[in-house]
């Protein structure tokens, strides 16, 4: 299994790139970033210094993942998604002098296993996107997203639940939800959702 890096990509020598990764044209991967196995970094995407990505993550074209973001295994980030990293961004200090790299405190976005972020969504750090959650295209996420939640809008609010397959779950009554793709059953309780594990 080999690593494929396009000639026009800019990958810092201090970055760790896992086996089977593909980094496409004009993408940039900064120093000390760590990509797990079989990750895809699309054309023009940016992976900030020290960003951590698990196995099988996919960044679509022009996604901007600013440090100190953490992506667990199987995370999908759609085209032109932005993860912010500053509460109060300014180019200059109050006296008008140019801010330096150490003049601010970075905050990050965390994406849990299997979560997906739709095209052009903005995740305003610090937020956590829960396991297998789905953020709709164009959403602005300003607070944590529960596991399996489907959120959309500005600001993003929960519109329903999704399963591991990504399809909206169907309400089976009595707090139970069923995936129309896999048949997996989930149980809702106190605004959270958990998979029902057969004994």
Same domain for 91 and 74: yes
Q: Are both 31 and 109 inside the same structural domain?
A: yes
Residues 121 and 146 in one domain: yes
Query: pLDDT-based confidence at 78, cuts 50/70/90?
Result: very high
Q: Which domain holds residue 129?
A: 1-161
Whether residue 140 is found in the same domain as residue 174? no
Q: How many domains is the chain built from?
A: 2
pTM of the model as a whole: 0.94
Residues 167 and 137 in one domain: no
Give the separation between CA 171 and CA 1, rounded to whole angstroms: 43
Task: Check whether residue 33 and residue 77 sit in a common domain.
Answer: yes
Q: Are residues 77 and 124 in the same domain?
A: yes
pLDDT tens, residue by residue, 24-37:
999 999 999 999 99
**Do 50 and 64 sit in the same domain of this protein?**
yes
pLDDT at 115: 98
| Mean local confidence (pLDDT), 121-129 | 97
CATH at residue 62 = 2.160.10.10
Mean pLDDT of 181-197: 94
The reported pLDDT for the residue numbered 134 is: 98
Q: What is the rounded average pLDDT for all residues in the chain?
A: 96
Q: What is the mean pLDDT of residues 131-157?
A: 98
**Quick one: 138 and 190 in the same domain?**
no
Are 154 and 78 members of one domain? Answer: yes
Please tell me whether residues 11 and 101 are part of one structural domain: yes
């Amino acid at each position: 299994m080999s690593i494929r890096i396009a000639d026009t990509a800019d990958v810092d020598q201090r970055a760790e790139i896992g086996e089977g990764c593909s980094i496409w044209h004009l993408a940039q991967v900064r120093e000390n970033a760590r990509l797990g196995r079989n990750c895809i970094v699309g054309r023009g995407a940016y992976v900030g210094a020290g960003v951590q990505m698990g196995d099988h993550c996919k960044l679509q074209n022009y996604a901007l993942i600013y440090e100190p973001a953490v992506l667990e295994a199987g995370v999908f980030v759609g085209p032109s998604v932005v993860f912010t990293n500053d509460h109060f961004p300014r180019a200059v200090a109050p006296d008008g002098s140019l801010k330096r790299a150490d003049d601010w405190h970075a905050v990050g976005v965390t994406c849990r296993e299997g979560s997906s972020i739709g095209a052009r969504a903005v995740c305003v750090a610090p937020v956590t996107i829960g396991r297998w959650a789905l953020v709709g295209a164009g959403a602005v996420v300003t607070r944590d997203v529960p596991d399996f939640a489907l959120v959309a809008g500005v600001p993003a609010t929960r519109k329903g639940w999704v399963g591991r397959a990504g399809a909206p779950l169907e309400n089976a009554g009595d707090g139970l939800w069923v995936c129309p793709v896999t048949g997996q059953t989930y149980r809702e309780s106190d605004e959270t959702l958990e998979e029902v594990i057969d004994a």
